[in-house]
Structure 1
Amino acid sequence: MVLNMDSAASTLNYKFVVDAMLGNLARWLRILGYDTLYDKNYQYWKILEISKREGRTIITRNSHLAKKAYKMGLSYVLIPKGINVIETLIYLKQNGVINVEYPISPIRCTVCNGPLEKFDIGKWKCSKCGKIYWKGSHWNTIQKTVIKVANSKLYDDGEPIKSK
């Protein structure tokens, strides 16, 4: 369920706050370049406060948190239960919450969400926590996953697509 999302706005300008159940999703959203706050210790009140203060869309699997966000007039996405992180990215893409294009370039730190700065050929450093990133063999796996997400659907005309 997607609510309060301005379809006219560029999805790359969206900022998210993700609940404790979706840590892997937060990492992937950062890989895709989205400003995504996540802390496994965030209480619901903190997520609601951050969303209200910073204009972030809440991404959650918890219907109680989604109901509170709805009552407060906050933007949120309630992720269906039973789908994995890649299927969740496809769900978000298919519902217009995110845009997935490839090839991707490192933009955000997957650990702290800080911006990455290029400092050498194929190397980046997080300006916030100092973590170093490089285009190693793992980069091909990431790109293949992004291509899969960009070219996949979870449902067609409102009907779930059956796994093969």
Structure 2
Amino acid sequence: MNRRSVLQTLGAGVAVAGSGCLGGGGEVIVSVQQDVTVEPGNAWMETEIPDLSESGGAIEYIVRAEQAFDVYFFSDESDFEQYNAYIKGDDPDSTPPGNSDFSQAAVPAEGSELYEATTDNGGNRQSVESTGPYYFAVDHSSYRMENRVEEFDDSLQAFVDLKVIRKRSLI
């Protein structure tokens, strides 16, 4: 079974397992389930995530790949601009770490040869307590020197399962 098939199979299993998880109520306003390819020194980003601060909401994600990577979730536009400047090859003033509740380095998944980054409890819903706009990035660069990536390294092949849920009004 090739790498893409493994990632797609795992992603499809997660989608089936999580399909009934909206019992807590809410409207899915961003849903991404796809394979992504990230060149060395770059990132795959979801930048169209609306502010949830008025209505309340949550995020859930699972990202898997055969090599190490980082996930950054920015809830501060100026922090994201610093990150984006780095990805575009500029030398930003600082390298903010992103929202500490959601940003993390992928770790080897238990019982698997894949690396994985998830929201709490294996990809379950986690409340977003900060104001937006929000930015989500699967990083394959040397940003913050947490994960060294050289320009001649292999591209990152990852499966991204990301959902952003807005709480439903009780009215």
TM-score range, shorter chain: under 0.3
**Which fold has the larger relative contact order, with Cα–Cα distance below 8 Å and residues 6 or more apart in sequence?**
2
TM-score by length of 1: 0.24
Say which structure is richer in helix.
Answer: 1
